[in-house]
């Protein structure tokens, strides 16, 4: 064991952060599942119900982020770098915010149908969220670094796939849609969904940084 790692192992640390991160990413998986259901719902009434669920889950996510930041301010010795705790919290919160933003736009713009690209991007957000939750749950003990690394690699692959879907969907949109208003509305939702996958990758990058420092 490296000397720095030995010193880290001997210093008592507050373990509450691990539980908080696990709860935050569990909430992320839940809100992602509701997003997929929303993207596949056919009736406006059902979409409204699901959008309300997403709104509630977004508020819960804000509470988790606030709790982590408050604990960070009050804790002297943290389980890993304070900057990494802050960055990981912000990235998770950003994913939730973009899911919420996409949901709101779908309702406000009154889409008659949700495009296959929006549905696929929603599924990719869910897959990325599930992989992120797996990686976060391994942070507590750092005993299964290979599983964490594999989850991060899969998140990177998901983000690349989302980029391809977004690019193809926008190209098709410009080619087939004649209404400038519909183009703007659809592209905005697609962009918000795709950005959520970018934020998943940001979170994975933080986890990889933590692995390099402490695994």
Contact 190, 95 (CB under 8 A): no
Residues 19-40 have pLDDT tens digits of: 999 999 999 999 999 999 999 9
The whole-number pLDDT of residue 13 equals 55
CA distances from 37 to 27, 85, 110, 192, 211 (A): 15, 31, 16, 17, 34
The whole-number pLDDT of residue 1 equals 46
Q: Is 43 helix (H, G, I), strand (E, B) or coil?
A: coil
The residue assigned the tokens 């669920």 is: 53
Q: Which fold has domain 15-214?
A: Methane Monooxygenase Hydroxylase; Chain G, domain 1 (1.20.58)
Residue 140 DSSP class: T
Q: Give the list of residues 6+ apart from residue 176 with CB closer than 8 angstroms, or none.
A: none
Say whether pLDDT at 190 is over 90.
yes
Say whether pLDDT at 6 is over 50.
no
Q: Is 20 helix (H, G, I), strand (E, B) or coil?
A: helix
Q: Is the pTM of this model over 0.85?
A: yes
Mean pLDDT of 45-49: 96
| Nearest residue to 154 via CA among 174, 136, 131, 134 | 131
Q: Over the Cα atoms of the chain, what is R_g?
A: 19
Contact 36, 83 (CB under 8 A): no
Residues 123-166 have pLDDT tens digits of: 999 999 999 999 999 998 888 899 999 999 999 999 999 999 99
* Token reading at 152: 């991060």
């Amino acid at each position: 064991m490296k000397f720095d790692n030995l010193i880290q192992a001997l210093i008592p640390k507050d373990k509450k952060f691990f539980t908080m991160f696990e709860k935050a990413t569990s909430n992320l998986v839940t809100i992602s599942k509701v997003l997929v259901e929303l993207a596949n719902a056919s009736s406006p009434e059902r979409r409204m119900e699901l959008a309300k669920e997403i709104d509630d889950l977004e508020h819960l996510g804000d509470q988790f982020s606030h709790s982590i930041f408050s604990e960070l301010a009050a804790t002297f010795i943290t389980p890993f770098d304070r900057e990494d705790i802050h960055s990981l919290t912000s990235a998770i919160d950003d994913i939730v915010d973009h899911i919420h933003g996409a949901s709101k736009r779908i309702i406000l713009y009154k889409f008659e149908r949700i495009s296959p690209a929006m549905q696929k991007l929603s599924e990719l957000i869910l897959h990325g969220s599930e992989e992120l939750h797996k990686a976060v749950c391994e942070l507590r003990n750092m005993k299964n670094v290979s599983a964490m690394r594999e989850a991060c690699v899969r998140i990177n692959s998901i983000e690349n796939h989302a980029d391809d879907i977004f690019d193809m969907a926008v190209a098709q949109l410009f080619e087939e849609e004649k209404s400038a208003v519909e183009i703007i509305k659809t592209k905005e939702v697609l962009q918000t969904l795709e950005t959520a996958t970018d934020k998943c990758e940001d979170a994975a990058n933080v986890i990889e940084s933590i692995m390099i420092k402490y695994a």
